[in-house]
A and B are shown apart, each in its own frame.
Chain A
Amino acid sequence: MRLGIMSFAHLHAENYLGALLALPDVEVIGIADENQKRGQYFADLFGVRLFESYAALLAEKPYGVIVCSENARHLPLVKLAAEAGVHVLCEKPLATTVEDSQAIVDVCKQAGVLLMTAFPMRFSPVALEIKKWIDSGRLGQIYGFNSTNQGALPEFHQGENLPFLERDWFVDKKLAGGGAIIDHSVHIADMLRWYLQSEVVEVFATANAIMHAGKVSVETGGLVMLTFANGVFASIDCSWSKPAYYPIWGGLTLELVAENGLATMDSMKQYTTVYSHKVGRPTRDVWASNSNVGMLNEFVAAIREKRLPAITGEDGLRAAEIVEAAYESAASGQPVKIG
């Protein structure tokens, strides 16, 4: 299975590349990046080939590519791949608007290529365990979810001595589509749709820019409430509220309150705490299973078996609709109906 990666603007690109290189029956034919210096850096780091352009990478006819550009640049890259007949795994969020997300879905459909949205949480063993509990019916009627997907200001993704990585775009509204809401509400929104097998019908959001004020112009604090067609409601705290010196970058937590009990989940709870003189503060080393591996295996399997992946472009589109409604609600102060 010959695969490639388009753009390393998103830091998940190197996680995916590392995981791909360890997968049996996968050949990474190379990577391409409009930022040549960034591309060269990762090509050298992982010992893979750097193509001089996306067109050159696609001309080598990979079976599939992973698109890891800035959110706003997913559409042009997916379009290039689809028109070259190459299957696509696209980083989340699918795009910064519903319109672009729809265009991504359409262009892949027209070209007859697979489109998968990168929601790795669906492959997290911890998240899967909760799914099993829900599906078994043992929890009974689900009442609601109280959840967080918090992190540090993603400006810190930049890397202290690596400014050429140009990863400060996460706080740039034009390239990212917004701030904390678009960055951190889509994972949980997708997980809950998957858990409940029900669609979101109403979205409320409230946000502010108190943290990192003056440094960034997008929202850094946000609370989103989702109401599903089956009556379940869920809050998502998507704030960039973790200080840069927090023991870990952030995490994803869920509290599920149901008729027969309470289930709590913390995707980053499988860790050791390290106190190193080199760092000077406690840090958490997570030993949880790498959910990217499951996600990449699914992408490969879907291509091989010529079937839809477990997470489709439509799933990415649904998440984009939720995000757009959240921004509309944050602006108007009232819930927004969707679907």
Chain B
Amino acid sequence: MGITHAAAWAKLPVELVGICSADPNHAKKLADEYGTKAFASLEKLLEQVDVIDICTPTHLHHDMVLQAAAAGKQIVCEKPLARTSAQAREMIAVCKKANVLLLVAHVLRFVPAYVQAKATVERGDIGNVAVQRFTRCSALPKWAADNWLMDMGKSGGMLLDLMIHDYDYARWVAGDVQSVYAKSLRGQRPESAEDYGLVMLKHKSGAISNVEGGWAYAPGMFRTSFEIAGDAGLIEHPADSSIPLAVYMKQQEEVADAMIPISPLSEDPYFLQAKHFYEVLTAGIEPRVTADDALAALEIGLAAIESVRSGRQVQIAEVA
């Protein structure tokens, strides 16, 4: 994700001061690409910057955010904000006390179709939200360093790391979530490397959401979709239907592990997100995603994990 963020920052009037990574070769390569320096430690990098963008594995966010806040730096942090609710709450409190921003990268809030649907609901065009459906499925990711995504203790697994996109969006549109019920492949068959999950959210408004997530598709496949039904209308965004470009090759080429469907945009969501963060940091506009939003999305994910474990419907209050 650091690579993606670096590419987005590079298009903005900011100075990319340096890159730090647990893998020095990785940092060097990326630094060379963007004409900047590789740093051996976060401490050294923090001495040189105004803003730090943290794209490390989830379980490391807490300590690094605290370190950056202590240094008085503004902070951008990849989602999920943290691995546990207690970590996230401490991070928020520390940043508030240090008077630094904690901006969390929930990129779905910058994906055009999702942004548009949110605006449609806000305008009242479909009335009160009643039933929402979300899908986000890909192949088992193999791109993560040391395969940290597969480590439940580090990432929270598919139920947290992948599905948090849609938890956050579901909550953005239909409001706070009260309770969560979930089933997952790894809950049913712990020996499975792949995972597949169905998560049902009950919002405080009474709205209900069905969230589907998976790391179980064929290599190269990635599908997303949503549907929002209200008491005065319906918004549909089916999978496989918003892809304006298709290429049919005569011979099957080797495909990447996580191919993004071909839907060209003049400004990609990661750039729009970085641009928004830039405006928040320089012009003082309100962030589209607050750290409290990120905490709420995290807690939905933690409730889903707890529901799979216990077999019960879990109240958000139980994992807060």
Contact = CB atoms under 8 A, between A and B. Distances in A.
A18 interface: no
A242 B236 CA distance: 11
B229 A227 contact: no
Contact of A211 (B198, B212, B217, B231): B231
Interface string A41-68: 0000000000000000000000000000
Interface residues of A, number: 38
Interface in A228-264: 231-235, 237, 239, 241-243, 246, 255, 257, 259, 261-262
A239 B130 contact: yes
B212 A233 contact: no
Contact of B130 (A208, A235, A261, A335): A208
Interface string A106-148: 0000000000000000000000000000000000000110101
B196 interface: yes
A204 interface: yes
Contact of A235 (B129, B200, B202, B223): B200
A242 B234 contact: yes
A223 interface: yes
Contact of A143 (B181, B196, B312, B313): B196
Contacts of B206: 208, 210
Interface residues of B, number: 37
Interface string B186-220: 00110000101010101000111010101011100
B40 interface: no
B109 to A, nearest CB: 24
Contacts of B130: 208, 210-211, 220-221, 239, 241
Interface stretch (B15-23, B98-106, B131-139, B269-277): B131-139
A207 B208 CA distance: 7
Interface string A200-228: 00101011101111000000111101010
Contacts of A211: 130-131, 229-231
Given A210-B231, A225-B200, A239-B229, A255 B212 contact: yes
B312 A335 contact: yes
Contacts of B181: 204, 206, 225, 335
**Most chain A Cβ neighbours within 10 Å, of B185, B212, B214, B311:** B185
Contacts of B207: 208, 210, 221
A103 B6 CA distance: 68
Contacts, number: 108
Given A146-B135, A235-B200, A204 B221 contact: no
B58 interface: no
Contacts of A76: none
Contacts of B185: 143-144
B206 to A, nearest CB: 5
B305 to A, nearest CB: 16
Contact of B313 (A202, A257, A334): A334
Interface SS majority for chain B = strand
A257 B213 CA distance: 10
B283 to A, nearest CB: 38
A210 B175 CA distance: 15
A290 to B, nearest CB: 25
B231 A208 contact: no
Contacts of A242: 234
A212 to B, nearest CB: 7
A282 interface: no
B183 interface: yes
A333 interface: yes
B67 interface: no
Given A221-B131, A262-B217, A206 B183 contact: no
A333 B212 contact: no
A208 B204 CA distance: 12
Nearest to B201: A206
B214 A233 contact: no
A104 B188 CA distance: 36
Contacts of A334: 312-313
A237 B188 contact: no
B200 A210 contact: no
B133 A148 contact: yes
Contacts of A232: 188
Nearest to B197: A144
B233 interface: yes
B61 to A, nearest CB: 30
Nearest to A145: B198
Nearest 6 A/B pairs, CB to CB: A241-B229, A210-B130, A233-B183, A221-B131, A231-B188, A143-B196
20 contacts: A143-B216, A204-B181, A206-B200, A208-B131, A211-B229, A221-B207, A223-B200, A225-B200, A234-B198, A235-B210, A239-B130, A239-B131, A239-B229, A243-B233, A246-B234, A257-B216, A261-B218, A262-B221, A334-B312, A335-B312
Given A225-B181, A227-B183, 20 more contacts: A144-B185, A144-B198, A148-B133, A207-B208, A208-B130, A210-B206, A211-B230, A221-B130, A225-B183, A231-B188, A233-B183, A234-B198, A235-B198, A235-B210, A237-B133, A241-B131, A243-B234, A259-B194, A262-B217, A335-B181
